[in-house]
Amino acid sequence: MADTTSKSYFWKGFRDGTPFIFVAIPFGTLFGVFATEAGLNIVQTMAFTSTVFAGAAQFAALQLLQDQTPTAIILVSALAVNLRMAMYSASLTPFLGAAPMWQRACAAYLTVDQSYASSIVQFEKEPNMTVPQRMAYFVGSVTPITPLWILATYLGAVLGTRIPESWALDFALPITFLAMIGPMMRTLPHVVAALVAIVVSLLTVAIPFNLGLLIAGCAGMIAGAQAELLADRRKAAA
Amino acid sequence: MTQPDPVTIWTIIIGLAVGSYALRFVFIGLVGDRPMPPWLLRHLRYTAVAIIPALIAPLVVWPTATGGQPDAPRMAAAAVAITVGLFSKNVIAAIFSGAATLYGLLYLLG
């Protein structure tokens, strides 16, 4: 029965998504702490974390808010950080695009690094899964982390103001992101993209409104795409 | 810390919520099964690895907490976090070793 197998795929997704709670809990707590330090109250922090539901973009927005950046630049920069969600959405479309619209609308909200990473591996490993089974797996993979992410943010926001400055929490954000960069360096073009982005971001740091971030991001993306083309051509020639 | 004004904060929250949802919905909701141009996919593949380092690099070289002065413990912590991440492919291990380096050096040098 289709319903039974969908249910078992939900639980398979749930099991595969469970390890990510070790990312969601500290990251969510940190967001609560940062938001409080940036001057957001509990209602604002919780609305932020549950509607935007994207850790990296939330941190980027807060950082820029503290740097007194104009609102329009904050929005563009944080959404640029979230552009990868569009890529995830694009990459999932061949697998989930045939599901009913209301399911796709829910899946869009639940598209995060963790659900994407688990699902794309599973969908490629078992190409014969039906669309309902894929949807059940996808929702299952994000079920363990969603409530914990929101709860952890709340705890961070409540405890945040009591955390002393000597804990150097200013640097928790760079460390967390740097730790995420390492595993992303899957191929040489990824490394090229990151290195070009770093160099350009340091050169353009004096440009107002943090526009250097967007320039550096675009430069890195172009460099990565070009490096990939070169690598493909070399592979074809060999 | 200056208190940011509520209108600014709510504008950012609502703008980001709508924008993030639109980014997630655009392909799975609107494109459906139609194919996308390869050049676009090729650039999208490098979005995360370009934007995140560009966001972080200036914060590592000129940290806000030290008033923009380059700082040895923070530089070392950054180097350790990225190195451990590169070789272990383990985000949690990289976070903890970076944090341990930062606290260890702040304690020893502070």
- In-domain check, residue B10: no
- In-domain check, residue B2: no
Average pLDDT, chain B: 86
Among A40, A32, A160, A106, which residue's Cα sits nearest to residue B13? A40
The amino acid that residue A111 corresponds to is T
Number of domains in chain B: 1
- How open is the CA angle B39-B44-B46, to the nearest 5 degrees? 110
- Report pLDDT for B33: 65
Q: Of the candidates A101, A109, A172, which has its C-beta nearest B24's C-beta?
A: A109
Give me the percent of chain A exceeding a pLDDT of 90: 44
Answer yes or no: is pLDDT of A23 > 80: no
Region of A39 (left: φ > 0; alpha: ψ -120 to 50; beta: rest) is left
The confidence band for A179, taking pLDDT boundaries of 50, 70 and 90, is: confident
Average pLDDT over residues A159-174: 71
Would you call A221 and B43 a contact, using CB atoms and an 8 Å cutoff?
Answer: yes
Average pLDDT over residues A190-202: 95
Strands of B20-93, DSSP E: none
Q: How many CB atoms lie within 10 A of CB B35?
A: 9
Distance CA A128, CA A117 (A): 19
Contacts (Cβ under 8 Å, ≥6 apart) of A187: A228, A231
Shortest alpha-carbon distance between residue B49 and chain A (Å): 5
- Report pLDDT for A2: 52
Domain residue spans of chain A: 2-168, 185-238
| pLDDT tens for each residue of B64-94 | 778 788 889 999 999 999 999 899 988 778 8
Lowest mean pLDDT, pick from A136-145, B10-19, B81-90: B81-90
Distance CA B45, CA A228 (A): 10
To probe the interface with A, which of B7, B21, B55 has the most A CB atoms within 10 Å?
B55
Distance CA A82, CA A132 (A): 27
**Which chain A residue lies closest to B35 (C-alpha atoms)?**
A94
- Which has the higher per-residue pLDDT, A136 or B89? A136
Average pLDDT, chain A: 87
Give me the percent of chain B exceeding a pLDDT of 70: 94
Exposure string of B39-73, with b = 16+ CB inside 10 Å and e = fewer, is eeebbbbbbbbbbbbbbbbbbbbbbeeeeeeebeb
To probe the interface with A, which of B16, B64, B87, B97 has the most A CB atoms within 10 Å?
B16
Distance CA A220, CA A194 (A): 6
- In-domain check, residue B1: no
Q: Report CA dihedral (A117, A119, A125, A129) to the nearest 10 degrees.
A: -170
- In-domain check, residue B14: no
Distance CA A137, CA A7 (A): 9
- In-domain check, residue B23: no
- Which has the higher per-residue pLDDT, A138 or A16? A138
**Which chain A residue lies closest to B6 (C-alpha atoms)?**
A40
To probe the interface with B, which of A82, A175, A184 has the most B CB atoms within 10 Å?
A175
Shortest alpha-carbon distance between residue A42 and chain B (Å): 12
- Report pLDDT for A191: 95
**Which chain B residue lies closest to A224 (C-alpha atoms)?**
B46
Distance CA A145, CA B2 (A): 33
Count CA within 13 A, CB hemisphere, residue A226: 9
**Which chain A residue lies closest to B28 (C-alpha atoms)?**
A93
Distance CA B87, CA A111 (A): 27
Answer yes or no: is pLDDT of B5 > 90: no
Give the domain range for residue B71. 35-109
- How open is the CA angle A32-A24-B3, to the nearest 5 degrees? 15
Would you call B90 and A197 a contact, using CB atoms and an 8 Å cutoff?
Answer: no
Would you call A38 and B65 a contact, using CB atoms and an 8 Å cutoff?
Answer: no
- Report pLDDT for A165: 65
Distance CA A78, CA B63 (A): 20
- In-domain check, residue B15: no
Contacts of A219 in chain B (CB under 8 A): 50
Shortest alpha-carbon distance between residue B32 and chain A (Å): 5
DSSP state of B69: -
- Report pLDDT for B81: 93
- Report pLDDT for A111: 93
Q: Of the candidates A67, A80, A86, which has its C-beta nearest B26's C-beta?
A: A86
- Report pLDDT for A1: 43
Burial class (CB in 10 A: 0-12, 13-18, 19+), B96: middle
Q: Of the candidates A40, A71, A168, which has its C-beta nearest B11's C-beta?
A: A71
pTM of the model: 0.70
Would you call A175 and B77 a contact, using CB atoms and an 8 Å cutoff?
Answer: yes
Average pLDDT over residues A182-211: 88
Average pLDDT over residues A209-229: 89
- Report pLDDT for B40: 81
**Which chain B residue lies closest to A87 (C-alpha atoms)?**
B44
Lowest mean pLDDT, pick from A19-33, A197-211, B82-96: A19-33
Most confident of A13-22, A149-158, A174-183: A149-158
- Report pLDDT for A34: 84
Chain A to chain B Cβ contacts (< 8 Å): 286
| pLDDT tens for each residue of B97-108 | 998 999 999 889
Lowest mean pLDDT, pick from A50-64, A78-92, A223-237: A78-92
